[in-house]
Amino acid sequence: MPIGVNVNGTPRRFFSVSASAREDLQTQSTPSPPPPPPATESTAAKEIPEYMQKWGELDPNTVTEKREERRLVRRDGVQPVGSRRRRTILNRMAANRAQDIAFEQLPFQAFQEARKFLLQDRQEKLKEIETQTTRIKNLMEQDPAVSGGPSAKEARLRSMRNRVQELIILADINDPIVKKKFEDGEGDMNKPIYRYLANEKWRKYKRLILEQRISQMNLVPDLLPAINPVADVDLGFGRKDIAPGEFVDSALSEQMPRLTVQTFEPGEKLVSVVVVDADVPVLAEDSFTTHCHFIASNIPISPTQTSIPLIRIGQEDNKTEDAAARKIALPWEAPYAMRGGPYHRLAVLVFEQKDAKTLDVEALKNIKRRGFNTRAFVEKHKLNAIGASLFRTQWDDSMPGVMERAGLKDLINVQLKRRKIEPLPYKKRTERMR
């Protein structure tokens, strides 16, 4: 095969062409003089021997093989430009540009037949959506007495709407472009298909882990009676992403975390974020209690607006004069753990406010941090937990500084010790046993 006319119609394939093929090129196509730099032009043109001419054209921008580079230096006296990696990429880009056909137009038989079939199916689905919406409209105009009572009518409408939602998903789910966009993270979360795909992906891995951590660390009976996460909550401190249940360095957690809450339902929601420590030791009672580290309310989120930048919210709160516009009810208090004590579980709970009604932040300010009762809080404000995450904190080297800045200087030097429990008589190890 002459190398000048390639399969793809590219004029030249630099990347994988062997030396012999290059010689082929030399004999078949008109050999163009090598592009020597102007400085060496006069000498190079004269002195190139026969065998060197056979090397063909060497472009300092795109040579990738070691031998080619050596030849370039030797014959043309030019150093290759940039790294070999960069030249390879340039090469590839040049090759890709030549076959710049849209993915759907790629002329492969099985692929095109499959697309034809899928498009036909999509048309059927769209038609079905249309008829279903007309039927819904007709049913809505119908007198409830005819359709068997208002509740029956509602039930029918609900199932018909569900069917429409399902059809909308089914119409797009076989599209390779949709899949590609979603995998590249370019999916538009306003569209149901991308929300559906994101939800499926979340439920297949991240949600399972979250569920496991919640039950493993007993968040559910300790703080809330039950939780059904429907939104993906990503927690991070500074630049570090925190997996659910991870130990966080106390220096990191001194600052407020950043939250990303991805909901998979359309529409905007108002959420409250609560951070509760479930393991605060009460030495006097020889037991534990809870401590609320943070409460913020009336934060709007939607499928496209996922980020909750708590630090910026805090700054804005400080600026605003209007007390009602403030969002943070209880400002962040750095989590701490005492020397020798067990680790603390800190739950980050995201609650949806009912009917997107705003809560009175001023009233929330009166909540007592120590002994914070999550269940009562949820009951009182009619909240619904949609997402959760958690992290753990324990005594580490930076803890004294954190505690000092948090005003807990007297606790720094306290060391907790596990009380030695006298073993039961039959478990006592006797002298003879030793």
Residues that bind other proteins (CB under 8 A): 7, 103, 106-118, 121, 174, 176, 179-180
Asked if 93 contacts 87 with a C-beta cutoff of 8 angstroms, the reply is: no
- Please say which residue, 117 or 343, places its beta carbon nearer to other proteins: 117
| Rounded Cα distance, 322 and 395, in Å | 39
| Rounded Cα distance, 406 and 386, in Å | 31
Shortest spacing between CB 110 and other proteins, in angstroms: 4
Residue 315 structure tokens: 């700054």
Shortest spacing between CB 114 and other proteins, in angstroms: 3
| Rounded Cα distance, 207 and 281, in Å | 30
Burial class (CB in 10 A: 0-12, 13-18, 19+), 138: exposed
- Please say which residue, 158 or 180, places its beta carbon nearer to other proteins: 180
Shortest spacing between CB 117 and other proteins, in angstroms: 5
- Please say which residue, 122 or 369, places its beta carbon nearer to other proteins: 122
Alpha carbons within 13 A on the beta-carbon side of 30: 2
DSSP of 373-406: -HHHHHHHHTEEEEEEEEEEE---TTHHHHHHHT
Shortest spacing between CB 161 and other proteins, in angstroms: 24
- Please say which residue, 119 or 311, places its beta carbon nearer to other proteins: 119
Residue 157 structure tokens: 């409408």
Shortest spacing between CB 183 and other proteins, in angstroms: 9
- Please say which residue, 127 or 370, places its beta carbon nearer to other proteins: 127
- Please say which residue, 15 or 288, places its beta carbon nearer to other proteins: 15
Q: Give how far Cα 36 sits from Cα of 29, 59, 67, 76, 87, Å.
A: 20, 9, 18, 6, 18
- Please say which residue, 118 or 406, places its beta carbon nearer to other proteins: 118
| Rounded Cα distance, 83 and 66, in Å | 12
Shortest spacing between CB 176 and other proteins, in angstroms: 5
Asked if 279 contacts 288 with a C-beta cutoff of 8 angstroms, the reply is: yes
Shortest spacing between CB 168 and other proteins, in angstroms: 17
| Rounded Cα distance, 368 and 293, in Å | 10
Shortest spacing between CB 182 and other proteins, in angstroms: 12
Q: Give how far Cα 382 sits from Cα of 334, 364, 379, Å.
A: 28, 14, 5
- Please say which residue, 81 or 119, places its beta carbon nearer to other proteins: 119
